[in-house]
A and B are shown apart, each in its own frame.
Chain A
């Protein structure tokens, strides 16, 4: 599961990089043997994937159409889907997840770009800045969430409320109020994940040709115009890709709401994945959990396909 702005490792898109095509020559014998050997070497990894990734996905697909207590199993067709769609909490979970994704987009998306641009401008402290920015990513999520629970403690004991009290702002409810709980969670998730995305943007920025900037400076462009007209367009493909990954990732948020609020107060932070967890592990209804997972996966796949098609059109 990906968190806000924390995608799997993506090689930086270097602007203007050219792939070199090797001249082709037909050689059958040794190449076939090499191919077979390659397959054999890949076999353990393939076996691991098959057993721990692909087989569970297939099983999940099957369970979505069954009612099971893991001892006896019955086929129930689409009953799980109607059950899930009829659950009044589904609408709330969907709305909460969309709210989380939206807030993460507004807050969590520009921040890594901002930091990357700032760090790129630094001359001497770039290494230290990168290290500091990446530090929250290294801290295990559970540890950082326990830390933030102390920060968010309501009343005068919590760190944030104590600091705010010094400035004269009354104790804020943070996680205790339905209106501020989701925002508090987004802050935690952003803090924990912006570092890795910032580093990726930084790598892309480092490969931008400095001549572009020099030319712009000669033409009298201010720093903001340079950022807007040179930096951002050069980052465009990275931004589009990371945006897609972020949207898919934020729709699967689980760790932060689960540990910080457990879905409360009053179901204001229940997300789709928390609902799936509840179905499976609290109510023991594996069929419903699998059905909702399947629907979520389909929805995200359709979204990703549409997104990629649109961005390809736009790139032309």
Chain B
């Protein structure tokens, strides 16, 4: 080989060795950023769910709060992280040490995370902290594991309800302020809507486990649960009469009255925009969906109406949900304490300190947020009315349109049903297929489908309990 060429080849070889070395050091990765305490009680808290840089308004609110918190709490430094909960990557992030120390997680996933031992036990704080003691029991029940310990702090709550489009209701000659008392009323309303307007009567979610989730809520309203817990053991009870009745209700609405439209592969990302743009008159979903419907899908605030889930005579209540702030299982005690302080400060102090509440509401309204956040109040009705009075000037949600829902939640008979404790997501997935079958096949045999789903669910539930 000629000398110049040899030199060039040698240079190339050295360059690639250098490149490989760089590559390999990059691959070994940085040690976990959450090294926590840096001696002398100094705690660095990595907080997830920080708004992205593109959402300037929300980011400013976040950063102001961080500054305020750090000023009041010497020794705690807050590091914001944009990481938000994503079920597909959660486990990998926990293993890789890139999960924020504290972040929000939906209630539907809490039980499986508790089961997989990925969350820190926060019961000791519930005993000592006054703010946590004030929370509604219906809301804290969701963060308890089967052992009774508390694994998170509820930061928002909702129940499943019937979301209605008030404009379409009026077009169909229905009163958007008169709550629907029974499921027959819902069927009649759907009928009226599909006959007198261009919209379909009722949208039903059927995919991504959201179908099973809403069906569970409707079953509870008919008087049955899909999992029963007796002491330490939970058994699947999918083939109960209430679920069968709920499916029959939907089957009749779909095939006899033809009031459910034509698309039956709906999850929230498909149904939400359709509902917001007036293609459906009603939707069984979360009461807090006001926020994404108005902010992201541009529904007019006055068009949004909310009815509590109608209860049959044996009805058990409305399925509850929400978000929970959780702390990583491998966080230190100092980090956990800091996390609880931060969560209280960011989410719950507004119910304790009225001045703070008013300021916060004003800045949120100025930045285009929905004030107050629609959903189930985290605290008792009296405390919540106090809060509403304090933020009165900044309210931009037409609360009078939502009276039927809120007054129902304050009544003594309002029951909140908790999610199935064991492998809820998998069981919801089974119900998804049952729902899809009922809605796309006119001759679907509900009893046979439920029996099949029950068999599979039994296997799943018993395997999960070991």
Contacts and interface: CB of A to CB of B under 8 A. Distances in A.
Contact of A41 (B16, B263, B426, B434): B16
B12 interface: yes
Contacts of B207: 261-264
Interface in A250-265: 261-265
A43 B16 contact: yes
Interface string A48-83: 100100000000000000000111100000000001
Interface of B: 1, 6, 9-10, 12-14, 16-17, 19-20, 23-24, 27, 87-88, 91-92, 94-95, 112, 116-118, 206-209, 261-265, 267, 329-330, 423, 425-426, 429, 432-434, 436-437, 439-441, 455-456, 459, 463
Contact of B432 (A43, A264, A286): A264
B91 A30 contact: no
25 contacts: A36-B13, A40-B12, A41-B12, A41-B16, A42-B16, A43-B17, A44-B19, A44-B20, A48-B23, A69-B116, A69-B118, A154-B262, A154-B263, A177-B440, A177-B441, A261-B265, A263-B207, A264-B207, A265-B265, A265-B440, A266-B437, A281-B88, A282-B426, A283-B426, A284-B91
Contacts of A262: 207-208, 265, 267
Given A37-B12, A48-B23, A155-B262, A283 B17 contact: no
B433 A266 contact: yes
Contacts of A238: none
A98 B318 CA distance: 43
Nearest to B109: A284
B16 A265 contact: no
Given A44-B20, A71-B118, A176-B264, A282 B91 contact: no
Given A154-B263, A283-B425, 7 more contacts: A41-B12, A48-B23, A69-B116, A262-B208, A278-B429, A282-B209, A284-B116
Contacts of B20: 43-44, 47
Given A44-B19, A155-B263, A173 B440 contact: yes
6 nearest A-B residue pairs (beta carbon)? A70-B95, A40-B13, A155-B262, A281-B88, A266-B437, A154-B262
Nearest to B463: A83
A178 B14 CA distance: 59
Interface centre among A36, A41, A261 (most CB of B within 10 A): A41
Interface residues of A, number: 43
Nearest to B426: A283
Interface of A: 30, 33-34, 36-37, 40-44, 47-48, 51, 69-72, 83, 86, 88-89, 153-155, 171, 173, 175-178, 261-267, 278, 281-284, 286
A72 B117 contact: yes
Given A71-B94, A282-B425, A47 B24 contact: yes
Contacts of B434: 266
B88 A265 contact: no
A88 B1 contact: no
B436 A30 contact: no
Given A173-B440, A264-B432, A281 B87 contact: yes
Contacts of B432: 264
Contacts of B208: 262
Contacts of B16: 40-44
Nearest to A286: B91
Nearest to B329: A71
Given A175-B265, A176-B265, A282-B425, A33 B1 contact: yes
A33 to B, nearest CB: 7
A155 B12 CA distance: 62
Contact of A266 (B87, B267, B330, B436): B436
A71 B265 CA distance: 35
A34 B433 contact: no
A175 B440 CA distance: 10
A51 B29 CA distance: 13
Nearest to B12: A41
A44 B23 contact: yes
Contacts of A283: 423, 425-426
Contact of A264 (B1, B92, B436): B436
Contacts of A36: 13
A269 to B, nearest CB: 10
Interface centre among A71, A266, A267 (most CB of B within 10 A): A266
A195 B14 CA distance: 42
Nearest to B10: A37
A284 B425 CA distance: 11
A150 B204 CA distance: 20
Nearest to B14: A40
Contacts of A51: 23-24, 27
B1 A267 contact: no
Contacts of B264: 176, 265
Contact of B91 (A34, A70, A88, A278): A70
A80 to B, nearest CB: 12
Given A154-B262, A261-B265, A40 B17 contact: yes
Contacts of A176: 262-265, 440
A223 B404 CA distance: 76
B10 A70 contact: no
Nearest to B264: A176
Contacts of B439: 265
A34 B1 contact: yes
A33 B12 CA distance: 13
A85 to B, nearest CB: 13
Nearest to A158: B262
B440 A41 contact: no
Contacts of B13: 36-37, 40-41
Contacts of A69: 91, 94, 116-118
Contacts of B425: 282-283
B94 A267 contact: no
